[in-house]
Structure 1
Amino acid sequence: MAVDYYAVLKLTRNANQEDVKKAYKRLAMKWHPDKNPVDHKEAEAKFKQVCEAYDVLSDPQKRQIYDVYGEEGLNDEVEFDVAPPPPRRSEPDDIFNEFFEDRNSWQRAFKKTCNGGGSGRSQKSGGGKMVAAVESKLACSLEDLYKGARRKMRISRTVPDNFGKSKTIEETLKIDIKPGWKKGTKITFPEKGNQEPGSSAADLIFVVDEKPHDVFKRDGNDLVVDHKLTLLEALTGTFVNLTTLDGRVLPIPVRNIINPGYEEVIPNEGMPISKDPTKKGNLRIKFDVVFPSKLSAQQRSDLRRVLGEVDN
């Protein structure tokens, strides 16, 4: 039967990290086996659930997986198109240094009862050797990061055969690029790297890298575009027809007088926000006014007359 970790800590799903810490401290003290010598077995079971709940809900990556896929996702019982990042395992020292003065007693209980948490992936090989993850860049266009895309990555890696000799195998990995992902986003495929005899295979991590775009620049969730205007357009107004990253043409009226540093801001036409792709940042148009290189005497006279009348 699946465990509701929010119910274990008596929290709602919108609880923040401070709420999680406070709930854990209160319930861990309540159910510590040393404080319950009469109902020792019940206390051990409750204490273990509290530890496991804290281990999941205090880790943003684990919590995200749990919220979407439940306990099955944490136990690798769900098939992912793209494997989620490996969750961080909570260490007893981190927890007890923060919460409790009698750290040794609480550490012993945590290790004995909870066995360190139980939901994370270990990066250690059978012999205890740490296996370093392998990172590769995943170059993405701004259009990919705006609309989303699927990539198929052909990889070759070495693994030991039945006799302990290295052999090369090829595999195709699928990566679903989500709208709104930013440079530096990591997509982890556990144990899809090279493997040496007597050790686990390394994790393979793809790190999103954003290609420069010819028109747009990204600023967080905003898109920024530079647009040149003549002096006449800057003073009298104009229309800017801008083609978006998904192919739409936006006719943008510019009615204000364009001063140096002026930006036209179009709400909800920037990059999708990855946590909620139904929302977007802003589109910001930065104007560069192009002044004429020379004016005739008549033009100078006309400008003095018109602008002088405006000033008056």
Structure 2
Amino acid sequence: MFFGGNPFHGGMPGGIPGGSGRGATRSDVDTTKLYETLGVDKDASKKDIRKAYMKLSRTHHPDKGGDEHKFKEISAAYEILSDDDKRAQYDKYGLDGVSGDDVGAAGGEDLFSMFFGGGGRSRRNSGPRKGPSVNHPMKVSLEDLYNGKTVKLAVNRKVIQGTPVECTRCKGQGAIVEVRQMGPGMITQMQRQCDQCGGQGQQCTFKSERKILEVHVDKGMCEGDKITFGGMSDEVPKMEPGDINFIVQEKEHELFKRKGADLLVVKEVSLNQALCGFTWKIKHLDGRVLVIKSRPGEVIKPEMNTKEALPFVKVLPDEGMPSKGNPFVRGNMYVMFRVEFPDDNELPSNVIDQLRSLLPEPDVPEEYDPDEVEVVHLNPADLRSFGKGGANQSSNEAHDEDEDGGGRPVQCQQS
């Protein structure tokens, strides 16, 4: 695995070089914002800080109609200033010194965005950035998604060998600035990625490391689910290693179709089976053999008894997929039936006479005089051809095009 660096890692010329910001104290660090949030002086005691926090939290608590964002600011400021170590870091380095710590009162928000509205600051200063993650597709059978499975996979990753050193060409910026003269009295500055360090700001050597990962496929996982191994991607200077993600890709099954936790299977039955009953043996995903039988007198119909022409479907409760995170709750198995009718001229006349006498609602012959009516027969057809009949269909379509402006204009010839 190889990843290119960020060509603008060091920022624009004159900006702050990349890094955590926890070196020597800088004169431009704001170390008063948290005290101002609580309305106390910088030399306030812990008792005064707690007193101010209790007063403000009662006023701005969301349950009492207060501003939720303001309440988060107050809580974060108190959590930092009430801790001696965090307060000392803040007094020396500002939010740079504490933004990488576990400040739970911030409610998951970035401290810089919380107190400064996201302007002029970057999350880059809150700690080391995370390197790029790598996604690997992993094809999994429906049986393994039903039962769960652990597989061992080998991955190769690059790890830093030795200690990285600062790039001498860009001085750790990751980018270099080139000044070009465009004309008399006109110059331009262009920033580009440092070609010596690849935009990392540091130079180092890598070695290949082979890792064996145990990838556990949970029961009920779906297409697109991720199995993540944190920090197992390639190492990058001045960054935390990214993650390796295995993306589940569900293999097509020869019998079952899946949607969520439900399974669908299609069963073709003859007209005899649809009317007189059927017995069907299938092998489930966990190896069990199920024998599905129709109830005595049950009729399988070509379509459901609804206004819409829906396929005839039956359900087997709790025989679907395990639910992800709760494998003891399973979906259902739906069986969609397709009734196969006999082909033309397949039934002999004696069989037709027997069926007519046995089946309900036989055809009642119509009375008519052959000399006065016309007897016709039906031919096979496709409903997609409905509306396309008639000799004038092509001319009608051309007329429609003319109305829509799609036809050619007619020009008048002058003599």
8 Å CA contact 1:100, 1:106 repeated in 2:
no
Matched, 1:263 2:305: no
Give the whole-Å Cα distance in 1 for the aligned partners of 2:220 and 2:362.
46
Q: 2:355 aligns with which of 303, 307, 311?
A: 303
Structure-2 residue corresponding to 1:159:
159
Give the whole-Å Cα distance in 1 for the aligned partners of 2:125 and 2:76.
23
Alpha-carbon spacing, 1:168–1:100, altered in 2? closer, same or farther (3 Å): farther
Structure-2 residue corresponding to 1:5:
none
Q: How big is the shift at 1:132?
A: 2.7
Alpha-carbon spacing, 1:237–1:178, altered in 2? closer, same or farther (3 Å): same
Matched, 1:277 2:319: no
For residues 30-179 of structure 1, the aligned pairs below 5 Å read 40-41=49-50, 100-101=66-67, 103=69, 106-107=72-73, 109-111=75-77, 113=79, 116-117=103-104, 128-163=128-163, 164-179=204-219
The structure that is helix-richer by fraction is: 1
8 Å CA contact 1:33, 1:109 repeated in 2:
no
Matched, 1:201 2:201: no
Give the whole-Å Cα distance in 1 for the aligned partners of 2:323 and 2:359.
45
Alpha-carbon spacing, 1:280–1:137, altered in 2? closer, same or farther (3 Å): same
Structure-2 residue corresponding to 1:230:
270
Q: For 1:124-160, what per-residue CA distance to the aligned partner results, in whole angstroms no more than 9, with x for missing partners?
A: 7997444232222221110001001001111001111
TM-score (normalizing by structure 2) = 0.49
8 Å CA contact 1:158, 1:166 repeated in 2:
yes
Alpha-carbon spacing, 1:258–1:224, altered in 2? closer, same or farther (3 Å): same
Q: For 1:226-273, what per-residue CA distance to the aligned partner results, in whole angstroms no more than 9, with x for missing partners?
A: 111111000111111111011111111113211122222111111011
Give the whole-Å Cα distance in 1 for the aligned partners of 2:213 and 2:52.
45
Q: How big is the shift at 1:200?
A: 1.6
Alpha-carbon spacing, 1:162–1:126, altered in 2? closer, same or farther (3 Å): farther
Q: How big is the shift at 1:274?
A: 2.0
Alpha-carbon spacing, 1:102–1:142, altered in 2? closer, same or farther (3 Å): closer
Structure having the higher Rg: 2
Structure-2 residue corresponding to 1:192:
232
Give the whole-Å Cα distance in 1 for the aligned partners of 2:349 and 2:314.
34
8 Å CA contact 1:127, 1:199 repeated in 2:
no
Instruction: State the identity as a percent.
Output: 31
8 Å CA contact 1:125, 1:199 repeated in 2:
no
Aligned residue pairs total 230
AA in 1 matched with 2:351: Q
8 Å CA contact 2:128, 2:240 repeated in 1:
no
Gaps of 5+ in 2: 1-36, 41-45, 57-61, 81-101, 111-122, 164-203, 304-310, 365-415
AA in 2 matched with 1:302: Q
Instruction: State the SS of the aligned residue for 1:192.
Output: coil
Structure-1 residue corresponding to 2:3:
none
Give the whole-Å Cα distance in 2 for the aligned partners of 1:257 and 1:194.
62
Give the whole-Å Cα distance in 2 for the aligned partners of 1:140 and 1:169.
26
Structure-1 residue corresponding to 2:5:
none
Gaps of 5+ in 1: 1-31, 48-95
Give the whole-Å Cα distance in 1 for the aligned partners of 2:71 and 2:328.
49
